Amino acid sequence: MEKEELLKEVDKKVAACRKCPLYKTATNPVPGNGNFEAEIIFIGEAPGFHEDQRGIPFCGAAGKLLDRLLSSIGLDRSKVYVANMLKHRPPNNRDPSLEEMEACREYLDEQIKIINPKAIVTLGRFSMVKFYPFGKISADHGKGKIVEYNGRKYIFIPMYHPAAALRAGAVDAQLREDFIKMPEEIKRLEKIINGVVEVPIKQEEEKEEQLGLI
């Protein structure tokens, strides 16, 4: 079965999910959307009001900011996949609970496995701890790492959530800076995963000096 069909099957499971009570208060399920051949998956925390109304992740004000951030590095939604930890909106946009995140875990895990992206970019602290349990968003934002998740290695970059950037100018500035740096972080970590170790410039200069003495 092709990736697109497999992701549609996940969407159907999400729509029929009754593993936690959130489906009772939600208007629509919000499984995720985007390019099923994406090299980057962006993972937020939970749907908000506009996402719940339309069934599309990041389609409100935070989503518009995400679109601008993607544009700043030459990307758009057609090139990436976007999802959330939770697939139904928590009442009053409250934080996700551990029980709710556990109930939704299998759906996000399936999406990641099917798409098999090069990089996972988390937006906010709740999605960060799924892949980096002891991390702190204030200290680790924008810093790429290689993580092993469900038997596969991924480039992992935690970021502030766009909604937090809308509330605080300092977070907005940092998020924009982290996005600009993201393509180079992905390239750097991809080399490490592929076993390519770059020789530091200082070592190269020393090598040239030694050759000049021969």
CATH number of the domain encompassing residue 169: 3.40.470.10
Which residues, listed in sequence order, are joined to residue 153 by a DSSP beta bridge?
A: 148
Segment 106-136, tens digit of pLDDT: 999 999 999 999 999 999 999 999 999 999 9
Tokens 């976007």 belong to residue: 82
Whole-model pTM above 0.85? Answer: yes
End-to-end CA distance of the chain: 61
Name the domain count of the chain: 1
Give pLDDT < 70 ranges for the chain: 197-214
Domain of 51 in residue numbering reads as 3-213
Segment 128-165, tens digit of pLDDT: 999 999 999 999 999 999 999 999 999 999 999 999 99
DSSP letter string over 61-130?
A: HHHHHHHHHHHHTT--GGGSEEEES-SSPPGGGPPPPHHHHHHHHHHHHHHHHHH--SEEEEESHHHHHH
pLDDT given at position 201: 47
Beta carbons within 8 Å of 108's beta carbon, 6+ residues apart: 32, 43, 83, 84, 85, 130
